[in-house]
Amino acid sequence: MKCPGCEGTINDSNPHCDSCGFDIADFDKLLQTPADRLGTVNDWAGVLSAEGLERLTGRLDNFKGATGIDFCLVCLLSSEPRSPREFSFWLFNRWKIGGDDHRGTLVLLSMNERRIEVEIGYQMEKYIDDDEAAGVLQHHAVPFLKKGDFDNGLYHSIDMLAKIFEHGLAEERTDAEN
Ligand SMILES: [Zn+2]
């Protein structure tokens, strides 16, 4: 994954950056303990409708059941006192999304800062890298979010990322059979 300080590459298992000196422990002092995780969808900002919440939870729960990949969504009112990018990095690591081998992904929407971020776990980078995933959000979420359509923006972008993972896994299975 990328260092939230300098955007250089950082080791998932030890979130410390030799280039810029960033260390995840610096965030712990400010942010302390993360809130309890609810499941695949954590809409703390209350941006999803009841239907939107049900649709996204269904998609991500089914995805996890079929693939074992832990794909998590968090909607925050604000990431203060850190940036959304730093907050998503911190939460991904502190929740251990995808377990010890980081077989997971986090999408984080922060309302006040008007930002949507994505963290791709180490085991998932062979399917899509951080820059490509940010591009998916830009194309499939941002146009809807700008109009205030959170249900569709979050669903379409997350569904697209899940499809990319599903496609990558299917190709691996085909390769294994040949
Ligand atoms: Zn750095």
Mind listing the pLDDT tens digit for each residue in 78-98? 999 889 999 999 999 999 999
pTM above 0.75, yes or no: yes
Going from the C-alpha of 72 to that of each of 104, 106, 121, 176, the distances in angstroms are 8, 5, 11, 28
CATH at 54: 3.10.310.50
Query: What pLDDT was estimated at residue 5?
Result: 82
Residue 91 belongs to a domain: yes
Residue 12 belongs to a domain: no
Query: What pLDDT was estimated at residue 20?
Result: 87
Distance 96 CA to ligand 1 centre (A): 20
Distance 166 CA to ligand 1 centre (A): 31
Distance 130 CA to ligand 1 centre (A): 15
pLDDT of 11 strictly over 80: no
Element (H, E) at 76: strand 70-76
Q: How many domains does the chain have?
A: 1
pLDDT in tens, 146-171: 999 999 999 999 999 999 999 999 99
Distance 55 CA to ligand 1 centre (A): 37
Residue 22 belongs to a domain: no
Q: Domain span at residue 68? A: 40-177
Residue 9 belongs to a domain: no
Distance 79 CA to ligand 1 centre (A): 20
Q: What CA–CA distance (Å, rounded) separates 80 from 2?
A: 20
